[in-house]
Amino acid sequence: MTATPEIQQKVVQLKQQLIQAGYAYYVLDNPIMEDAVYDQLYRQLQDLETQYPELITPDSPTQRVGDQPASQFTSVKHNIPLYSLENAFNQQELAKWQERWQRQAPDVQDFAYVCELKIDGSALALTYENGILVRGVTRGDGVTGEDITQNIRTIRTIPLRLNLDNPPSIVEVRGEAFLPIAVFEKINQEREQSGEALFANPRNAAAGTLRQLDAKVVDKRKLNFFAYTLHLPNHPNHPTSQWESLELLQKMGFRVNPNRKLCKSLAEVEEYYQEWDTARRNLSYLTDGVVVKLNSYSLQQRLGFTQKFPRWAIALKYPAEEAPTIVKDIIVNVGRTGAVTPMAVMQPVQLAGTTVQRATLHNSDRVSELDLRIGDTVIIRKAGEIIPEVVRVMSQLRPPDTQPYQMPTHCPECNSQLIRPKGEAVTRCVNSSCPAILRGSLIHWASRDALDIRGLGEKIVVLLIKQNLVKSIADLYSLEIEQIAALERMGQKSAQKLLKAIADSKNQPYARVLYGLGIRYVGSVNAKLLAQNFPTIETLSTASVASLEAVYGIGEEIAQSVFQWFRIPANQLLVSALQKAGLQFKHHNSSSKTQSNLTANTFTGKTFVITGTLTTLKRNEAKDLIEQAGGKVTNSISNKTDYLVIGENPGSKLAKAQELNIPQLDENQLLELLKT
């Protein structure tokens, strides 16, 4: 099959984009393209060249290991080449990799894989002579790198002398230098304050740090390092497997990632991969996949290398959290505060394991900053459960005759004129009767952290508003079963469940009610502070701005917002109606789940992490009890964690706690401590 002119042009375009991105990333240390985007474009080129081999040229990015190293440091040749890893993006590709190596070693039946987290940093090659660090080199192009030994000596997790009584004459260690997320964020904060350009991500920051000419700057930035490969050239006691190498590296004084696992099958590899797809969000550093290596060194040597990759290892990447797509339309969404948010409607794209068609554009200033237009190719990002957002426009791919986007002048829901308050970036609808504002308020009121009304989702809310059954939050508490049962796709049984959930919400504590009211800037944590310091709605509604500001954790912006909210007559009527309906507007110090009288200093200064499913307490209830006793609850295990509370089916946090010797409590032990 002969490639059409269109395909030939596409290949040329892909090569140009990838070469430009490679130069910016490897040589200039100034990436212009996200890793996930590069991977996708690389795969497109690879697929086209596979289909049309005549289009392969020597300068294609698929035909080279890497780009040239930068020239500010001395270039040196690696003692042992640093190969890249082949990527797999799903379990099917991983299985095909296994089939390939098994065809080369059909007689091998007994084998194992070592799985390690793929650290998002910069690869380093370290050389030790007679146990002393003599050279540290960047990866460069895999054959030649840059000698940055003086900078590497500042990394505390790289030993200057091996922890061995009789070290081998030559030791080669490979590993990854990286910046912990907290350190990265601090560096960017400092750069922003001093007017410097921000680093794009921790990997970019780690690479930039390693190439600093002043070693004092490197030392200040607190780089970290995980060792993952060991070479003892011509040594009789060389380890026989990857697992043995990791254990020896640890003995030598290196930090080795504790989250590794020895797997006997691809099924176990997949289990490890799936476990860390969720658990990696609790790590203090970034990982974008799992490195899978055949454990046996003799089998590795037998399989050898392709021109670019080892045949015995592969990187199984997690679904991209950044991806390119095309903007088909730009619409606006009206929220519960009246904020009008522009949204990009896009061609569907797979992102972080889900299909995404919409992404937030935040406000009109952000649209102008991006210069986003209908028809543009954009990069979208999704981190964790955050709503996807557009992070960059690829203006070089913009179609001709596109027009800059203009925000609407009138609300798309109620046709009221929109305003942009002075000093704010957000355009708003100020019509309190706007259906969109009411809809957002009801959804927020029913949300899990507010009144937690199960069954009152967006579809039911829309139907209640459409049928004129609800015109305010308080109207929920006067609904009758016949009214709910008459709604589309509702019956008597569903109506009874929803009515019971609405009735049960009257028992939710005062702090949740405050949060549910949707006062601007008042989140669930601030709502608890307000409830504790102003124990009735009357004391809160009559509080001055000064008394509100006097509460630790309540700043001027929150204080002004709360004060103004209670000055609005419609809000006063809403509170009065909710009081008549039986909602809680008084703070109670004790929990319904325990009769203990908690003192505010029981857990003062103590940090807790909760894992697994608790049998009698909901996780939020356990968190409330700990906080009432003066403690703090966080999501990730660290050296600063005092206790891990364990429920049924605990996750990876348990192993991390055991590694750090952090005390563990079951639910009963927690409740006993609360009684003391």
pLDDT in tens, 531-576: 988 999 999 999 999 999 888 668 788 899 899 999 989 899 999 9
Find tokens 């609005």 and name the residue.
Answer: 568
Which tens digit of pLDDT belongs to each residue from 84-111?
899 998 899 999 999 999 999 999 999 9
Final residue of a domain: which of 486, 506, 526? 506
- Which CATH number belongs to the domain containing residue 540 in this structure? 1.10.150.20
- The larger pLDDT score, comparing residue 531 to residue 658, is at 531
* Strand-by-strand arrangement of the 664-665 sheet: 632-634, 607-611, 643-646, 664-665
Average pLDDT over residues 621-639: 80
Average pLDDT over residues 16-31: 66
Residues 383 and 459 in one domain: no
Domain annotation covers residue 471: yes
CB 130 within 8 A of CB 189: no
Which tens digit of pLDDT belongs to each residue from 229-251?
999 987 888 899 999 999 999 98
**CA torsion 287→345→443→522, rounded to 10°?**
60
Determine the pLDDT at residue 597. Answer: 43
User: Pick the catalytic residue: 10, 77, 118, 459?
Assistant: 118
Average pLDDT over residues 592-618: 67
Residues 336 and 440 in one domain: no
Residues 625 and 575 in one domain: no
Find tokens 């979208």 and name the residue.
Answer: 380
Residues 306 and 387 in one domain: no
Range in 41-55, 584-598, 607-621 the model is least confident about:
584-598
Residues 575 and 554 in one domain: yes
Average pLDDT over residues 588-600: 46
Domain annotation covers residue 234: yes
Which tens digit of pLDDT belongs to each residue from 463-477?
999 999 999 999 999
- Angle of helix 35-51 versus helix 5-22 axis, rounded to 10: 140
Find the domain containing 484 and state its range.
435-506
CB within 8 A of 158, min separation 6: which ones? 126, 133, 136, 152, 225, 254
When pLDDT is cut at 50, 70 and 90, the band that residue 648 belongs to is confident
Residues 92 and 13 in one domain: no
Determine the pLDDT at residue 225. Answer: 94
Residues 354 and 448 in one domain: no
Final residue of a domain: which of 506, 534, 564? 506
Residue 624 pLDDT exceeds 90: no
Which tens digit of pLDDT belongs to each residue from 347-394?
988 776 567 898 888 888 889 989 999 999 999 886 544 568 888 899
Determine the pLDDT at residue 66. Answer: 40
CB within 8 A of 481, min separation 6: which ones? 492, 495, 496, 499
Active site residue 586: no
Residues 562 and 656 in one domain: no
Range in 269-273, 550-554, 636-640 the model is least confident about:
550-554
Domain annotation covers residue 232: yes
Average pLDDT over residues 605-614: 85
Binding residues for Zn(2+): 411, 414, 429, 434
Binding residues: 35-39, 84-85, 116, 139, 176, 293, 317, 411, 414, 429, 434
Domain annotation covers residue 74: no
CB 532 within 8 A of CB 587: yes
| Averaged confidence pLDDT in the chain | 85
Which tens digit of pLDDT belongs to each residue from 107-128?
999 999 999 999 988 999 999 9
Domain annotation covers residue 596: no
Domain annotation covers residue 126: yes
- Which CATH number belongs to the domain containing residue 342 in this structure? 2.40.50.140
- Which CATH number belongs to the domain containing residue 40 in this structure? 1.10.287.610
Determine the pLDDT at residue 620. Answer: 75
Domain annotation covers residue 158: yes
Determine the pLDDT at residue 363. Answer: 84
Domain count, the chain: 6
Determine the pLDDT at residue 194. Answer: 65
Phi, psi for 412 (deg, rounded to 5): -70, -15
CB 359 within 8 A of CB 343: yes
**DSSP code, position 27:** I
Residues 181 and 243 in one domain: yes
Determine the pLDDT at residue 269. Answer: 96
Determine the pLDDT at residue 198. Answer: 67
Q: Kindly give the pairing relationship between strand 664-665 and strand 643-646.
A: parallel
Residues 123 and 236 in one domain: yes
- pLDDT > 70 fraction of the chain, expressed in percent and rounded: 91
Beta strands in 22-165 (DSSP E): 75-77, 87-88, 113-119, 122-129, 132-138, 144-146
Residues 215 and 233 in one domain: yes
Residues 476 and 516 in one domain: no
CB 38 within 8 A of CB 201: no
Percentages (nearest 5) of helix, strand, coil residues in the chain = 40, 20, 40
- The larger pLDDT score, comparing residue 446 to residue 43, is at 446
* Strand-by-strand arrangement of the 132-138 sheet: 132-138, 122-129, 170-178, 224-231
Domain annotation covers residue 63: no
